[in-house]
Amino acid sequence: MSDFMMSQLQGLLGKVSDDIDKMGKNTNAHLDSVLGAIDDLAANVFATQAILAVMLEKNPVDPKQVKAWIEAQTGSVGATPKAHAIVDMLTAKK
């Protein structure tokens, strides 16, 4: 292989290496942004659950009615076990 071709190949490999490095940095920045948004969302959900738990102590609801509402909204019976578990958690007698 000629020196010119080796130089061209070396230049292209350097460019690919730089591009891969930039992609990695961009991915890390996006990942940090997404993880921050997830953390904010989790804090919001937790605070909302806390408010509901306090409100439900003073104004209890029938968990069966809440679960029936969930099923009516999703159009499926038993397809939302996590939602049903949260209903049980929030409406549990303390």
Query: 65 and 38 in one domain?
Result: no
- Cα–Cα distance, 64 to 53 (Å, whole number): 17
Q: What percent of the chain has pLDDT over 70?
A: 98
Within 10 angstroms of residue 49's Cβ, the number of other Cβ atoms is 13
Number of domains, the chain:
2
Are both 12 and 35 inside the same structural domain? yes
Cα separation, 77 vs 51, in Å, equals 28
Residue 77's domain spans which residues? 60-94
CA-CA-CA-CA torsion for 62, 67, 73, 74, nearest 10 degrees? 180
The pLDDT assigned to 58 comes to: 93
Q: Which pLDDT band holds residue 94 (cuts at 50, 70, 90)?
A: low
50, 79: one domain: no
pLDDT per residue over 36-54, tens digit each? 999 999 999 999 999 999 9
User: Which tens digits make up the pLDDT trace of 7-21?
Assistant: 888 888 889 998 998
Averaged pLDDT for residues 61-76: 93
| CA distance linking residue 63 with residue 87, whole number of Å | 6
Whether residues 24 and 55 share a domain: the answer is yes
At 81 the three-state DSSP class reads helix
Q: Do 37 and 74 share a domain, yes or no?
A: no
Residues 78 and 90 in one domain: yes
